Amino acid sequence: MPLLALFASRDKGILKEKKFKEIIIYLENFHFAYNAILARRPNLIDPIYTKFAISLRKCTTASEVNDVIQNKLFLPLDSLFPQYSDFESKFIELAYSKKDLPSNMKTKYAVNKLFCYYDEKDVPDDEGTIEHIIPDNDDMSHNIGNLILLEQGLNNDAGDKIFSVKIPYYKRSSYKWVNEFVDNHSSWNQSDIPTRAKELARIYYTKVMGRQDGQ
């Protein structure tokens, strides 16, 4: 990634901190969708980054920097940004298990980013842990549609209880995401998991990443 060129432009004062942060967030979202979710070829990205970095280092004004960012970075990467249908098809397969699954890391990342969206935070809570709403006992229970972030103490107290018994523990949570979930679900079973997985995919794509689902 062309981070060195971005840092150099920021250090010269021709790339403002707000714009710098916007670029980092964009790149984070792009690589999560493109590499982590879709596992697409990185060789299409390398030439874009090379041309962008070369052009950025030649800039001497903020106006030139903004033009290069828009035309040499955002526009080329936007052409590669996964369509919503492709993103959804893979996102709904995300799973998290107490076992060492290859997908655990990116699923945890996605759940933490969703938490930040719902709770309007820049970073996840250190006390937050992955909670399986239906206990972690089969492949369906591992699916992202069955996951939420819950304080570790409450997660331990809820344990492997059925959902109706877990509700009082959820209601003690300080997390807006958990409170909203409880308000909207008086019951929970396996048939609800695929529907919620798709809902989370759309929220992630449109709210967390700021994309339009028609793209």
Tell me the residue ranges of DSSP E strands in 53-157: 128-132, 147-151
Distance CA 209, CA 204 (A): 6
Tell me the angle at which helices 176-184 and 104-118 cross, rounded to the nearest 10 degrees.
90
CB contact at 8 A, 94 and 103: yes
Distance CA 183, CA 189 (A): 16
Q: Output b/e per residue, 174-201; b: 16+ Cβ within 10 A.
A: ebebbbebbeeeeebeeebbeebbeebb
Q: What confidence score (pLDDT) does residue 136 get?
A: 82
Distance CA 107, CA 120 (A): 20
The backbone torsions φ and ψ at residue 121, rounded to the nearest 5 degrees and listed phi first, read -120, 155
Which tokens belong to 104?
């655990």
Q: What is the mean pLDDT of each run of 10 residues along the chain (215 residues)?
A: 90 94 96 96 93 96 96 97 96 91 92 97 92 89 96 94 95 97 95 97 97 72
Distance CA 73, CA 78 (A): 8
Q: What confidence score (pLDDT) does residue 215 get?
A: 47
Sole residue written with tokens 């909670």? 131
Q: What confidence score (pLDDT) does residue 55 get?
A: 96
Q: What confidence score (pLDDT) does residue 1 get?
A: 66
Q: Alpha helix locations (H) across 119-186? A: 139-142, 152-158, 163-171, 176-184
Q: Tell me the CA distances in angstroms from 82 to 34, 57, 117, 163, 174, one per residue in order.
A: 6, 29, 21, 35, 34
Distance CA 132, CA 57 (A): 48
Which tokens belong to 41?
């070829």
Q: What confidence score (pLDDT) does residue 100 get?
A: 81
